[in-house]
Structure 1
């Protein structure tokens, strides 16, 4: 399957966490047979020998490029993957056959890169890099992301504490590309590199909380923003540019805070890499500036090699002040020799967004319209029940010289209005999404776009047309020049409908053929498929991917090809390349090649899916692992693995041998393992998810118990007198609630990084589901674990608490508050602290200890 390009060498360093990507070849007749700590540790080590290479070879981050050769056009597909016997991601490519083959074969993988220094382990990464990995939940090493200029074949990516660039120039050669370090005078990490759409020699990045740009042809770099002072103290240095605040990254999934002005011509155009116009040329970036001066500073004990023991973070706890955000446009020029002018122009919105929209709390999305005439923003209020999509004319950004000049300009200039082109409201909450595609307009007074909303109770697609000008046919609200805002009238056409969910992550729009490709769960709430629907004449969406699998899809820029990475509960991940075919109105997918075929592993025992009708009348989905040493007529101890919170779905018809391999390990040691998605989990509609609204921790456990008891009555191997509950983060919170609320059901609880008091967690997440502490005092009190401390069992060895000491997400303060309450009530507990770990355990030694400890605790107490 893997073709090593001539002369290629791959970096190899075993820095991957292996609990999530390994399996046990050692089986025991029963966990009641006590084993020593060393024997359990050896069992954990054995689990690392079978699947770590496979577990991380799943391809991802696909890009397509069609290249003209002497034999005609050839399509090359690039992606991130892990070659055999390596434990770091790298860039790989495959070439599609230039002619259709009678038999579809497996496409050989080729190394795109020659050797370069191996990736840095977590301990050698900068603080910014470590925190970004935490926000993005990245657990692998090597190349984890890249930007790509399609026509030029240029890649830019961060790795090994550096930025690298490489060009795929000679497609007929099998020689690998040698990546070159992007030279810099910056001391420290360069984050979020993005290639300029109008000049592939320009790369913008963030360094030390400001935006910089480098010219690859000249080697010159220039600082573009000057928000951060570099004092080294948060209290005196609250400003940053190009970096979203903690809450925006953690709770709204936006990780970038700057956006290049769009290309004059599409990236797929052969002229893309050639900049048009006279020299010098002007380039623009939309930049978010964040002011965290009112955000609380938390001090976290942080042991390090130099024994400096305190780290500082800006962290807005529920009910406290959030960061303020401002938008600006940065302009600079570059001459023919690649020299960047030191005259940087900074333009601010002539009044801050909060002047026009005093209700706004969060800037959740931003960018440019395709014609560059407008900046768009999505604004969300504090309660997250009101969202507005706004167009801001570029002319509203002005140079800021002085207060006097600013007053003069405001009085003498008639600025174009900011335009509200869509508003969404909910009495529950609004889940933010990434579905927005502006369509070409036939009339300058109309702004058509594709949008998504859950206003029907389920996320669906709509074609919306906003009317931004005055006309008798489409009147608009009266425009108040003093306020500077115009609310457009809109018409909308539903493109999908029904009691099923469209995925909120991405859509692909073919404007010429008026088709939308999207991922959704129309056929099953536990299977994700690719569908297509017309936005001109919408009818029932057509599924393009194979049933009985869950699919993740990547499209070429011209939407003629796509890659699907797919799996099922009992099938290892596979990957195929397909060609879109359209005959009349019928759209279908034709298989072109196999990227990764079926894999067999006899040692792997997949879980089994189940579902049942709950007492409340809805369908509940779950899965369970049978003990590997299952004997008829014998009942086995149970581990209920729980998350239970919103925005997460654990039970899907997809392969679980990667993320949940630890559950397989437990089953191999003689435990039955059960997972249940009750109300509160996602992809079942807003009403299903919002059952927990304003009462986190009060309803979830009873649904978990109901599912567990239903399963026990339908299989003959579950021992309900020996049940452990185990989870991490929200799952750790529910594990505590399970032991406190139902100690009759749960004999032991293994609790990882738990929320204990919602008043201590962040604004964006907590207030979405609980409102503010002032508005929902009873909900916060009833949802606090410490309110149930008297209900915890008096017997020892029933509660094990695990937490990383430098967790900057769910702070160790939660566990400290719990321990104080347990001590005050004289309740027994066990505590395991990992001094150098954050919210997830990243280091190999900590992972090995954790896995061994869990097995030891279960065998001794369950």
Structure 2
């Protein structure tokens, strides 16, 4: 790790992209376990990501691709489609932010400034620029390493590496059609970031065709530059039409075979799996109450149902939920007996005491499983039919990993340390060095199970605070379903600790809807995204104050972004008796303006569940004039005007309703800023402006020098 910086925390927080730069990520392990590929920038404030490899046997680490040696421009020229993909992935760095390899991990391809590069992991060769017409998106090597498929201009192309020739396989029939890309809903909500998949032999592909013609057109304007034409985006808002997504098996000669399933019933394509056991597609209906795995005949395109999971509320859809072991057993994640569990050929192999977070890898017949026995900790286990479950990480902290060829790459952190990435193969153990910056900020944190529902809660206090001195409270939630904030890890709490150092007792609560507590806890927000999450914030706060009487409940602020922004505004509008000031960043204010897959999972369709949308909206609360019993509280609303996820209309409609009701508030528009705030100056000053606003609103003096 680098030495502590002389920069202030807000500046360092911004420069390091929340202390993510310089840390290893994007790990791939070769099938024989002998090589590990990964991404990492050269320093904790360096935003240019490089591609590296580690030879496990020797410990030799090699720089495979350095963007600064390949592109002589100072600023990466990212195509619009790639910018959109990075926004969906919440990618804040630049350079090589993604790569794809062949099966043996001998080659890699990646885009840089719209150009296509081919890198070799052995030999020390400089990555080769492959000439293409147009900007390249999402290049993928075939498993044999002989061909590259990529998207450019919405068309799918294939490059033959040895012959150095490129030909176009599929060309869009209209401007609203693309081949080989993930649609907005798939990328933003289902976490499916790709739209084409190679066969194991590299002789055919499955390709997604996305037709957005029926999707409503929204316009994202740039008011700071009125001469610019607003950007037209296809946005599938709740209750409106989704993109029409279909799949085809496409040969290298251009022969096309449509994959046939009941698209009218199952319109979401969750995943495509093409392995040695065959070709499979995982699909889901619009109401998300089922998840079906279909076996596909690549010759005819006919499908057969292999596995089906149903639920009266919803079934979680995540790529990788249905895979096969080397011996052919079907592995899936499902909930049984009140827990998320791993099933092998229909039989649970994890106990109900473990809430499974994910199936991270299948190495032959060995599974690498992520899960929790307590909500704040995330552990790793391996499972085989002979040995059963075997712990693969310490019990405390937060751990993630990859496994192939018997080599386990594990990233581990806890409340006192940065993430350490180790590579273990038998008796050999290596560490992949992290260059992440030292935040220069230690945590004064305690974790609690607060209230009757034993809500996972973090309390952060100033390092200089002495017991017996009252502290104003700042609630710092995300609060939305599947958006856990309270982890036994250092980095998720750094910003909260900085706010504590400004003179607050900071409280972070994971209420109903969060993972780690089981399906019932997650489904408690069904048809109401307001009441349960707000109640849980209040219940945990009051329970914590009983244990900690120095918490001053006469001065309670709340801040949040996205769903957290919605929750912050909801708190001061609906419960001003508890909350006395709020900062709402990029808040969802009217759920009919948010996307189909996320919103309809929790609230249903607006034409059917109108009451659910009304009770989860902020607009009626904002339209009610303030009264003596419900006084107006200081509210700052922040929104990026270029946000194409939670569009600025959310804030503008809320502000209009507040103004019509005569309710004072502040709006801070951010020109050119999307749902993320990677711009250094913007990110730094946002923290400073928030703390100044909260101090003024709650009467909090500056902390001691």
TM-score (norm 2): 0.91
Listed one character per residue, the Cα deviations across residues 583-636 of structure 1 (whole Å, up to 9, x for unaligned) are xxxxxxx56123348999693221523223532xx3211112211331332122
Is residue 214–residue 222 contact of structure 1 (8 Å, CA) maintained in 2? yes
Partner of 1:59: 24
Q: Are 2:312 and 1:353 equivalent residues in the alignment?
A: no
Partner of 1:608: 445
With over 3 angstroms needed to count, the CA separation of the structure-2 counterparts of 1:329 and 1:601, relative to structure 1, is: closer
Partner of 2:702: none
Residue 716 of structure 1: CA displacement?
Answer: 4.6
Name the CA distance, whole Å, in 1 between partners of 2:624 and 2:258: 56
Name the CA distance, whole Å, in 2 between partners of 1:796 and 1:548: 43
Listed one character per residue, the Cα deviations across residues 269-317 of structure 1 (whole Å, up to 9, x for unaligned) are xxxxxxxxxxxxxx21111112222211112213587932311111111
Is residue 64–residue 120 contact of structure 2 (8 Å, CA) maintained in 1? no
Name the CA distance, whole Å, in 2 between partners of 1:780 and 1:509: 44
Q: Are 2:131 and 1:183 equivalent residues in the alignment?
A: yes
With over 3 angstroms needed to count, the CA separation of the structure-2 counterparts of 1:284 and 1:131, relative to structure 1, is: same
Partner of 2:424: 578
Is residue 473–residue 551 contact of structure 2 (8 Å, CA) maintained in 1? yes
Is residue 291–residue 325 contact of structure 1 (8 Å, CA) maintained in 2? yes
With over 3 angstroms needed to count, the CA separation of the structure-2 counterparts of 1:840 and 1:599, relative to structure 1, is: closer
Residue 506 of structure 1: CA displacement?
Answer: 2.5
Name the CA distance, whole Å, in 1 between partners of 2:435 and 2:551: 32
Name the CA distance, whole Å, in 2 between partners of 1:22 and 1:555: 33
Residue 533 of structure 1: CA displacement?
Answer: 2.1
Partner of 2:617: 784
Q: Are 2:196 and 1:258 equivalent residues in the alignment?
A: yes
Name the CA distance, whole Å, in 2 between partners of 1:301 and 1:149: 41
Partner of 1:208: 153
Q: Are 2:64 and 1:160 equivalent residues in the alignment?
A: no
With over 3 angstroms needed to count, the CA separation of the structure-2 counterparts of 1:813 and 1:437, relative to structure 1, is: same
Is residue 458–residue 507 contact of structure 2 (8 Å, CA) maintained in 1? yes
Is residue 116–residue 179 contact of structure 1 (8 Å, CA) maintained in 2? no
Partner of 2:179: 241
Partner of 2:390: 542
Name the CA distance, whole Å, in 2 between partners of 1:332 and 1:227: 17
Residue 429 of structure 1: CA displacement?
Answer: 0.8
Partner of 2:509: 676
Q: Which structure's CA Rg is the greater one?
A: 1
Name the CA distance, whole Å, in 2 between partners of 1:294 and 1:46: 44
Report the number of matched residues.
Answer: 692
Residue 371 of structure 1: CA displacement?
Answer: 4.6
Name the CA distance, whole Å, in 1 between partners of 2:75 and 2:645: 17
Is residue 804–residue 837 contact of structure 1 (8 Å, CA) maintained in 2? yes
With over 3 angstroms needed to count, the CA separation of the structure-2 counterparts of 1:641 and 1:387, relative to structure 1, is: same
Query: Structure 2 unaligned runs (5+)?
Result: 699-705
Q: Are 2:413 and 1:567 equivalent residues in the alignment?
A: yes
2:371 to 506, 520, 531: 520
Instruction: Name whichever of 604-613 and 253-262 sits farther off.
Output: 604-613
Instruction: Name whichever of 565-574 and 715-724 sits farther off.
Output: 715-724
Q: Are 2:543 and 1:710 equivalent residues in the alignment?
A: yes
Partner of 1:192: 138
1:832 to 639, 648, 668: 668
Is residue 243–residue 288 contact of structure 1 (8 Å, CA) maintained in 2? yes
Name the CA distance, whole Å, in 1 between partners of 2:180 and 2:170: 9
Q: Secondary structure of 1:379's partner?
A: strand
Partner of 1:730: 563
Residue 508 of structure 1: CA displacement?
Answer: 1.7
With over 3 angstroms needed to count, the CA separation of the structure-2 counterparts of 1:732 and 1:345, relative to structure 1, is: same
Residue 653 of structure 1: CA displacement?
Answer: 1.0
Listed one character per residue, the Cα deviations across residues 427-454 of structure 1 (whole Å, up to 9, x for unaligned) are 121111323222467xxxxx74112212
Q: Secondary structure of 1:89's partner?
A: strand
Name the CA distance, whole Å, in 1 between partners of 2:665 and 2:541: 25
Name the CA distance, whole Å, in 2 between partners of 1:629 and 1:205: 55
Listed one character per residue, the Cα deviations across residues 241-270 of structure 1 (whole Å, up to 9, x for unaligned) are 111221111111101111111138xxxxxx
Listed one character per residue, the Cα deviations across residues 207-245 of structure 1 (whole Å, up to 9, x for unaligned) are 12221111233332111111254xxxxxxx222211122
User: Any residues of structure 2 matched to 1:310-709 within 5 Å, and which?
Assistant: 310-333=230-253, 344-349=254-259, 352-354=260-262, 358-372=264-278, 375-397=279-301, 418-433=303-318, 434-439=320-325, 448-464=329-345, 492-511=346-365, 515-521=366-372, 523-535=373-385, 539=388, 541-556=389-404, 558=405, 560-580=406-426, 590=427, 592-596=429-433, 603-615=440-452, 618-656=453-491, 659-709=492-542
Name the CA distance, whole Å, in 1 between partners of 2:277 and 2:362: 19
With over 3 angstroms needed to count, the CA separation of the structure-2 counterparts of 1:506 and 1:806, relative to structure 1, is: same
TM-score (norm 1): 0.75
Residue 773 of structure 1: CA displacement?
Answer: 1.1
How large is the Cα RMSD of the aligned pairs? 2.9
Is residue 629–residue 670 contact of structure 1 (8 Å, CA) maintained in 2? no
Is residue 368–residue 376 contact of structure 1 (8 Å, CA) maintained in 2? yes
Partner of 2:697: 861
Is residue 623–residue 660 contact of structure 2 (8 Å, CA) maintained in 1? no
Name the CA distance, whole Å, in 1 between partners of 2:571 and 2:6: 29
Is residue 244–residue 288 contact of structure 1 (8 Å, CA) maintained in 2? yes
Name the CA distance, whole Å, in 1 between partners of 2:232 and 2:36: 43
Query: Structure 1 unaligned runs (5+)?
Result: 3-20, 27-42, 68-73, 99-106, 171-175, 230-236, 265-282, 334-343, 398-416, 442-446, 465-491, 581-589
